[in-house]
Chain A
């Protein structure tokens, strides 16, 4: 799919997150300490908590509801819990800081069926 311009990296605070609606799915965009941006579906596989509200530690986020820890690169839930969320590819222009969404990169086990087409 083509890249979609979704804003500028400065729209997100360091170790912070913003959300965006894409094809009916809420996506959480995280800006890590090193400046890179990672995106996952904004829905914890445990009880659907909004991951965008969680605390970013390294390349993982802690869900605000029950502290599940989710690896943002792979979408996988860290031990002792199990599961995964869908991940999305994001590109950031190193000069302008422009941010682009490049579609789904990994599929979460719990993604609802109506999101599977595409």
Chain B
């Protein structure tokens, strides 16, 4: 297949980010040519202020060096400015005589600093703050001259001013507004910022309109409308940016403030796209990097032929990169109609916080002095979830337990006594209150033991905790120090650490050595200890079936009437006529009351008498499907490229391979996999513990999904190219989960607890993945099909049969 020709105009961050994504998703799809006006490879424009401020070296700002372009066989015309697009011939021309044909054209021409059209603005020493060249001019000026003026007291202006200050210049910031960064900060935060910057040596002039730049060849003075003057040898204009749309306008592309694009970043001319600062989406142009990257990701998916929901706009946040000052701003920070704000101001430590709430959603935040909660607030803002009752907690910091829970407490106190707190066990607020007040239950664990609240799915645990706090007050037990069950105060991590330190070899020994207060444990800790020991010592530990739940002991699911169900392994959901006949015959022979297709693409034989289990297994002669265990359950697949006209990859083959690779694996909680053959995702891979979605030329690996108690969509772990890589990542992920999660903790809960980033970090190095994979293989090597083992072993088999009926004494 001929590769299509892709031309990118603009060798900057947004454009190159798009290309990087395209290369990842569809490495062979395009022949790529890039034009860039600057004689540099792609560099990090955001870091220029750090270069000026001395925090970074010029070489550190390069994002993609020359060899990156070579490696990916990209033709780069650096130092070429594209001057003309011919949309009919599908061709672009540069100022230096180069030309290129395109099938797809991406405009990422960025923006230009807005230069005030003042008399004298063309003099030497008057610059914007945009690129490496501007930086070099400033460096040079700082060597020869002393006085600098920066016009514009916004983000960019302050960063430039801080840089010049660092270079030893005498810097005055001239601002038209009465206070700094008025687009990101309210007046209070702004005044605090000003004070801090003044302490660093920066000077300010407010409400000043620049009218003229005086001087001969070089600028000497800035003249204001009130006829006052400011001496300046270097004048930096940082009053704003304007999207660079000249080229697009000439080509007849629809242009407003920026180049107008739809949700797929398409312009009005077929085959021509725009991303980055030059693009205008739903009336908005962006000047911050995060939205540009989001646009690039959407465009790349579209160009790679992958499904994408399109770009829906971004909520942006700002952090001022000025040393010694922490400022964060996001969303709508001004109290508009219908919005309410909460503020916290501490003039001793120079901390100011303000959050703005509309309805019950967080819509804006300004932080000064302590910005540690910035990203959390920003993510809450983006999610748009209700923050009702948590407002003060948000304002005072997520960690401030005591003062922050006040509103949550009031809410709990106001709740009706007959309101159900624990839905699984039907426990009301009154029952819990009673347990705390009259039965002396001062921890969640004791309330659970006493009332069963939070004992099943655990979803109501925060509420129970809140009620304990409310009614036990100071007597409330330390919630952090809750052991894994009522038998111990030790946590999972403490137990696992002791097990490996002391090389403990049985559940009994562990409980004894670690001072359990119930010598034989309970139905919570025993299975977990058994799991941890098996995970730590796969070669030497002998699994204790008496410490396993019924289902895992008898390798079948117990039903409410004491019968069991049988689910044989059907790899990837693919069966055959002869297999189906065999299942049908066994079901008839043993009078199975119900035969049902499961949600995991297998067949469930329900209502089987316990004593029939071994015989049925023997006659089925199929491996156990582990439908009963904390183990790998199913690998659900869609039809994929084998039959489906949309399939991009062999999802069935991939699924069968994964299931054969990891079947029988014990895990902290059940693990479900799925493989979809294209982004339509018919196998619902994005609500699985490990979901694989085929894209053209690769596989997306998703983790941490759940379709059960708390529905949760997966998060993207990474994209890989080959089936071998899918298996390697799957194995490494499963083993990392096995080694780090708490027993009975699904991947979704685990990932929410530890964060996707920590998982990514643990798996990003190939050596680490190989080591994890080797360990998962070692664990798997010790496991055999349990049904066959039981069928062949009389000592195990006897437990499936009753003792002969006892003759009555009277007979």
Interface residues of A (CB under 8 A from B): 1-2, 4, 6-7, 11, 13-16, 18-23, 26, 29, 33, 47-50, 53-58, 62, 64-65, 67, 69, 79-80, 101, 103
Q: Which secondary structure dominates where chain B touches chain A?
A: loop
Stretch at the interface among B70-78, B391-399, B517-525, B661-669: B517-525
Instruction: Give the docked Cα–Cα distance between A55 and B523 (Å).
Output: 6
Between A and B, 12 residue pairs with Cβ closer than 8 Å are A1-B810, A7-B804, A16-B799, A18-B803, A19-B802, A22-B805, A48-B562, A50-B562, A57-B518, A57-B522, A79-B450, A80-B452
Residue on B with the closest CB to A78? B449
With A55-B549, A80-B449 known as contacts, the answer to whether A62 contacts B522 (CB < 8 A) is yes
Task: Let me know if B118 is at the binding interface, CB within 8 A.
Answer: no
List 18 additional contacts besides A20-B805, A58-B518, A64-B558; criterion CB under 8 Å: A1-B809, A7-B804, A11-B803, A19-B803, A21-B802, A23-B808, A53-B562, A54-B523, A54-B550, A55-B547, A55-B548, A57-B520, A57-B522, A57-B523, A57-B526, A58-B519, A64-B549, A64-B551
Partner of B546, one of A11, A56, A58, A69: A56
The reply to whether B520 and A58 contact each other, CB–CB distance below 8 Å, is yes
B217 at the interface (CB under 8 A from A): no
Q: Decide if B560 touches A33 in the complex (CB within 8 Å).
A: no
A18 touches B520 (CB 8 A): no
Bound Cα distance from A58 to B562, whole angstroms: 23
Please tell me the size bucket of the interface on B: 35 or more
- Least distance between A116 CB and chain B CB atoms (Å): 16
A4 to B807, Cβ gap below 8 A? Answer: yes
**Contact at B558–A53, with CB atoms within 8 Å?**
yes
* Nearest A residue (CB) for B806: A22
Complex alpha-carbon distance, A16 and B796, angstroms: 11
Within 8 A of A (CB), among B441-498: 449-452, 455
Instruction: Check if B808 sits within 8 Å of A22, measured CB to CB.
Output: yes
B767-810 at interface with A (beta carbon < 8 Å): 798-799, 802-810
Q: In the complex, A33→B450 CA distance in Å?
A: 27
When the two chains form the complex, which single residue of A2, A6, A33 contacts B520, counting CB atoms closer than 8 Å? A33
Could you tell me the distance between the alpha carbons of A58 and B546 in the complex, rounded to whole angstroms? 12
Distance between Cα atoms of A90 and B495 in the complex (Å): 38
What residues of A have a CB within 8 angstroms of the CB of B508 in the complex? 33
Q: Is B554 an interface position by the 8 A CB rule? A: yes
In the bound assembly, the distance between CA atoms of A13 and B547 in angstroms comes to 12
Known contacts A50-B562, A53-B554, A57-B522; A20 and B806 CB within 8 A of each other: yes
Q: Is the CB of A7 within 8 A of B803?
A: yes
Q: A64-B549, A65-B558, A67-B523 are in contact. Are A21 and B518 (CB under 8 A)?
A: no
Q: Is the CB of B802 within 8 A of A2?
A: no
Residue of B nearest to A50 (CB): B562
* Contacts known (A55-B549, A62-B523, A64-B550); A103 close to B450, Cβ less than 8 A: no
Q: A12 vs B463: C-alpha distance in the bound complex, in angstroms?
A: 44
